């Protein structure tokens, strides 16, 4: 930048054209096909995707445990592609947290500082502060074997954070915990990250986890990023069919554009019914429509013609207290029809809602055209 011009701060972590191909004998396998990512300082950033999509490999390249085949890794604007892991200002927390069993909680956390020859008073101060942060102030003298899984995970977190890294890399750190503890720890991690304000990069295959905690998510598939955005953007506006199917529950309707109108396109679904979509497509284009179950309204009366709407038969209902999940078959029979899942909140008079939608009822399903 020109002298005197304020320049935007460099991203905390930046990957430019990064690929990774593994060679075993004469076989080669491309785990990461080409990544361009800028992660800002203080962001809670998640890499989300199914097993084998390249999340861990990406993380290991950021940490320096794996060398990219091509491309550049930068930390705060500095090229670190050839810098050893221990000279990068990042720390990694693994799923198997590998605490030293013979050391107390406090000594586990102090380990890295002792190795760096940080003085005793400073070490004690920082260890105490970190144990307070992860709410283990009263467990300092215990051994790892005397702790619960969640507590051990928090010790591992404190041990990584005590080094005051610029960024913390977490690879499925909660995978070993049961559901309840995992959900509690998700909140804890988010709070800790907010309190200390350092960059977190989080690897997970659990979409709920990524949606709950992240500022932004990169959804990965087969070594590439399918979509990058905030949790709401990714959930509300999945860019690809893969993202729509991977995140949350969604219904997929397939069809063909039949006619273009001033308001969008009339689509003939494979089951024979017609729906409107807001996008304008030329006639004959094949169309995939994805609709989230909670965006669909179920009714016995025909909905307003401005809505996308189809008719069907209720084949199953599951009452879940605050909501009811309906399965509705659209099309004439199970062989050619499509089953659509609808989540309705039970915030109205339940007996009325129940009465309209027992098994076998004929119903209308409708959603705003922009939701598809
Ligand atoms: P998971 O959630 O199962 O850990 P992931 O998305 O983290 O999956 P990676 O561990 O990055 O995926 O692996 C991506 C692909 O690269 C996989 O198909 C894996 O088998 C392959 N791979 C990873 N490491 C190596 C290696 N050292 N040699 C050869 N292939 C590897």
Residue 205 falls inside a structural domain: yes
Lowest mean pLDDT among 36-45, 101-110, 317-326, 346-355: 346-355
Supply 263's token pair: 């308001």
Distance 50 CA to ligand 1 centre (A): 11
Residues 82, 200, single domain; the answer is yes
* For residue 298, pLDDT beyond 70: yes
* For residue 5, pLDDT beyond 70: no
Residues 44, 165, single domain; the answer is yes
Q: What is the pLDDT of residue 352?
A: 53
pTM here?
A: 0.80
Q: What is the DSSP letter of 239?
A: S
CA 114 to chain centre: 36
- Torsion sign over Cα 208, 214, 220, 223: negative
- High-pLDDT (> 70) share of the chain, %: 93
Residue 2 falls inside a structural domain: no
Question: Which helix (H) or strand (E) segment is 232 a member of?
Answer: helix 231-236
Higher pLDDT, 8 or 49: 49
Beta-carbon neighbour count of residue 202 at 10 Å? 27
Residue 330 falls inside a structural domain: yes
Ligand 1 in reach of 54 Cβ (< 6 A): yes
Distance 94 CA to ligand 1 centre (A): 15
What range defines the domain where residue 317 resides?
249-371
The mean pLDDT of 145-158, rounded to a whole number, is 88
75, 88 Cβ separation under 8 angstroms = yes
Beta-carbon neighbour count of residue 66 at 10 Å? 18
289, 359 Cβ separation under 8 angstroms = no
- Give the strand pairing for 308-319 and 274-277: unpaired
Ligand 1 in reach of 29 Cβ (< 6 A): yes
Residue 112 falls inside a structural domain: yes
* For residue 145, pLDDT beyond 60: yes
Residues 96, 165, single domain; the answer is yes
Distance 159 CA to ligand 1 centre (A): 26
Residues 52, 190, single domain; the answer is yes
Confidence of residue 17 (pLDDT cuts 50, 70, 90): very high
Residues 212, 258, single domain; the answer is no
Q: What is the pLDDT of residue 1?
A: 47
Lowest mean pLDDT among 12-16, 209-213, 344-348: 344-348
Long-range contacts of 136-141 (CB under 8 A, 24+ apart): 136/105, 139/105, 140/104, 140/105, 140/106, 141/104, 141/105, 141/106
Residue 178 falls inside a structural domain: yes
Residues 161, 127, single domain; the answer is yes
The mean pLDDT of 131-154, rounded to a whole number, is 89
Ligand 1 in reach of 65 Cβ (< 6 A): no
Q: At what angle do helices 120-133 and 105-115 cross, to 10 degrees?
A: 130
209, 188 Cβ separation under 8 angstroms = no
Q: What is the pLDDT of residue 285?
A: 92
Residues 192, 283, single domain; the answer is no
- Torsion sign over Cα 218, 222, 224, 226: negative
Residue 106 falls inside a structural domain: yes
CATH at residue 225: 3.40.50.300
Residues β-bridged to residue 46: 202, 217
Distance 25 CA to ligand 1 centre (A): 17
pLDDT, one tens digit per residue, over 225-255 is 999 999 999 998 889 889 988 998 888 898 9
Distance 160 CA to ligand 1 centre (A): 24
CATH at residue 357: 2.40.50.100
Mean pLDDT is highest, among 34-43, 238-247, 284-293, 343-352, for 34-43
Ligand 1 in reach of 31 Cβ (< 6 A): yes
Q: What is the pLDDT of residue 306?
A: 85
* For residue 22, pLDDT beyond 50: yes
Distance 43 CA to ligand 1 centre (A): 25
Beta-carbon neighbour count of residue 147 at 10 Å? 17
The mean pLDDT of 170-198, rounded to a whole number, is 86
Residues 241, 253, single domain; the answer is no
Between CA 331 and CA 309 the distance in angstroms is 13
Between CA 247 and CA 241 the distance in angstroms is 10
Q: Total domain count for the chain?
A: 2
Confidence of residue 275 (pLDDT cuts 50, 70, 90): very high
Residues 220, 300, single domain; the answer is no
Ligand 1 in reach of 57 Cβ (< 6 A): yes
pLDDT, one tens digit per residue, over 303-312 is 988 889 999 9
Structural domain ending residue among the three candidates 245, 265, 288: 245
- Helix/strand/coil for 193: helix
Residue 3 falls inside a structural domain: no
Structural domain ending residue among the three candidates 197, 214, 245: 245
Structural domain ending residue among the three candidates 207, 222, 245: 245
Between CA 49 and CA 207 the distance in angstroms is 8
Residues 221, 275, single domain; the answer is no
Residues 172, 314, single domain; the answer is no
Residues 170, 303, single domain; the answer is no
Residue 4 falls inside a structural domain: no
Mutate-to-test residue for ligand 1 from 54, 61, 67, highest number of ligand atoms within 8 A of CB: 54
- Picking from 90, 73, 83, the residue whose alpha carbon sits closest to that of residue 14 is 73
pLDDT, the chain, mean: 89
The mean pLDDT of 316-324, rounded to a whole number, is 87
Rounded to 5 degrees, φ, ψ at 3 are: -55, 135
Supply 162's token pair: 């005590």
């Amino acid at each position: 930048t020109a002298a005197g011009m304020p320049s935007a701060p460099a991203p905390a972590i930046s990957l430019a054209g990064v690929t990774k191909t593994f060679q075993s004998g004469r076989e080669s396998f491309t785990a990461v096909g080409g990544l361009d990512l800028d992660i800002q300082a203080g962001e809670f950033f998640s890499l989300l995707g199914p097993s084998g999509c390249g999340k861990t490999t990406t993380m290991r390249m950021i940490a320096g445990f794996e060398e990219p085949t091509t491309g550049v890794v930068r930390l705060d604007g500095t090229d670190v592609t050839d810098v050893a892991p221990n000279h990068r200002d990042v720390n990694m927390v693994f799923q198997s947290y590998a605490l030293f069993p013979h050391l107390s909680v406090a000594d586990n956390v102090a380990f890295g500082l002792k190795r760096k020859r940080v003085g005793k008073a400073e070490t004690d101060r920082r260890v105490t502060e970190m144990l307070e942060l992860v709410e283990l102030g009263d467990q300092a003298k215990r051994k790892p074997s005397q702790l619960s899984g969640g507590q051990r995970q928090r010790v591992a977190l404190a041990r990584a954070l005590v080094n005051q890294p610029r960024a913390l890399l977490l690879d499925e750190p909660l995978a070993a915990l049961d559901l309840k503890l995992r959900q509690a720890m998700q909140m804890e991690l988010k709070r800790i990250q907010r309190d200390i304000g350092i960059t977190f990069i989080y690897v997970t295959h659990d979409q709920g986890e990524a949606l709950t905690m992240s500022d932004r998510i990169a959804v990965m598939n087969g070594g590439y990023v399918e979509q990058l955005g905030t949790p709401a953007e990714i959930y509300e506006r999945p860019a690809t069919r893969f993202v729509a199917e991977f995140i949350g529950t969604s219904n997929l309707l397939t069809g063909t554009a039949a006619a273009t109108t001033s308001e969008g396109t009339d689509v003939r679904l494979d089951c024979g019914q017609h729906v409107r979509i807001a996008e304008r497509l030329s006639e004959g284009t094949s169309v995939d429509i994805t609709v989230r179950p909670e965006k669909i309204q179920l009714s016995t009366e025909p909905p307003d013609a401005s809505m996308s709407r189809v008719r069907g038969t209720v084949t199953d209902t599951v009452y879940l207290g605050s909501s009811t999940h309906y399965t509705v078959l659209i099309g004439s029979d199970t062989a050619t029809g499509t089953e659509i899942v609808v989540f309705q909140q039970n915030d109205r008079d339940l007996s009325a809602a129940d009465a309209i939608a027992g098994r076998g009822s004929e119903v209308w399903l409708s959603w705003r055209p922009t939701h598809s």
